[in-house]
């Protein structure tokens, strides 16, 4: 199974390292006062890990594989270990950031906006694909319903409540079409992640679900999902 990985480009790497250096410098200055013995201070710095938090939009296995190149790059460049944390849900990621249990976080749009409002999060870099992502509405491949309107009264699933592409944006586009999910569908579920939504659709636990297009295409590419099992009903602009 091939998994797409994440590694910032040259410009993003330079910005990331600059900000990391700026955030780490005060800690290094503080060590001057904490330890008179330079060797002791150096040993502490070497052992101090950078805590990287990841948005739990896919399984831990997929996320660890996807971000392994970034983890390796930071460890080699900064000469410090990097510990990856994958919280149980989107809310927990924001909460851990707020409690200063994480140094760097890979947020989604809504989670970043929440963290910025509550805890003054500062942006470092953004992926190119985040400027043009879409959401896909999925159903079973053998479902005879063709349009969103056909799914009135059925079981529907968003992803996580704080997901940009798995909840907020698709809800917006549904409302644009006059569809209020809680009134249109028989039941509205929240799976907690894009991959979980896709699997819920494939297994028939819901009739239709919506998830991030990049995640769904990656699942199809690496074999976790097949167009023999699911079908795209509609793609958001």
Beta bridge partners of 174: none
Q: Which residue has the tokens 């190119």?
A: 128
Phi, psi angles (nearest 5°) of residue 135: -115, 145
How many degrees, rounded to 5, is the angle at CA 222 between CA 228 and CA 209? 55
55 near 62, Cβ under 8 Å? Answer: no
Per-residue pLDDT 10s for the chain (237 aa) are 445 555 556 655 555 555 555 444 444 333 333 444 555 545 555 568 999 999 999 999 999 999 999 999 999 998 999 999 999 999 999 999 999 999 999 999 999 999 999 999 999 988 888 888 899 999 999 999 999 999 999 999 999 999 999 999 999 999 999 999 999 999 999 999 999 999 999 999 999 999 999 999 999 999 999 999 999 999 999
Work out whether the CA dihedral 135, 231, 58, 166 comes out positive or negative: positive
Domains of the chain with bracketed CATH: 10-128 (3.40.190.10), 133-235 (3.40.190.10)
- List of residues 6+ apart from 32 with CB closer than 8 A: 41
| Contact status, residue 162 vs residue 94, Cβ threshold 8 Å | yes
| Beta pairing partners, 157 | 189, 209
């Amino acid at each position: 199974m091939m998994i797409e990985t994440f590694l910032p480009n040259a410009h993003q790497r330079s910005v990331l390292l600059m900000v990391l250096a700026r955030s780490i410098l005060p800690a290094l200055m503080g060590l001057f006062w904490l330890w008179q013995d330079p060797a002791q201070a150096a040993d502490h710095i070497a052992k101090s890990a950078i805590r990287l938090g990841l948005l739990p939009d896919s399984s831990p296995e997929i996320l660890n594989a996807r971000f392994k190149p970034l983890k390796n790059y930071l460890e080699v460049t900064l000469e410090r270990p990097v510990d990856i944390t994958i919280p149980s849900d989107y809310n927990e990621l924001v909460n851990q950031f707020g409690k200063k249990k994480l140094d760097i976080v890979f947020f989604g749009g809504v989670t970043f906006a929440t963290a910025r409002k509550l805890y003054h999060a500062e942006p470092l870099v953004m992926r190119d694909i985040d400027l043009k992502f879409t959401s896909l509405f999925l159903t079973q491949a053998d479902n005879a319903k063709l349009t969103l309107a056909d799914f009135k009264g059925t079981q529907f699933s968003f992803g996580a409540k704080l997901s940009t592409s798995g909840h907020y944006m698709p809800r917006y586009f549904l409302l644009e079409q006059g569809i209020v999910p809680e009134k249109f569908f028989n039941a509205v579920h929240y799976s907690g992640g894009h991959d979980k939504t896709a699997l819920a659709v494939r297994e028939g636990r819901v009739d239709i679900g919506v998830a991030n297009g990049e995640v769904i295409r990656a699942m199809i590419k690496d074999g976790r999902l097949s167009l023999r099992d699911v079908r795209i009903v509609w793609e958001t602009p």
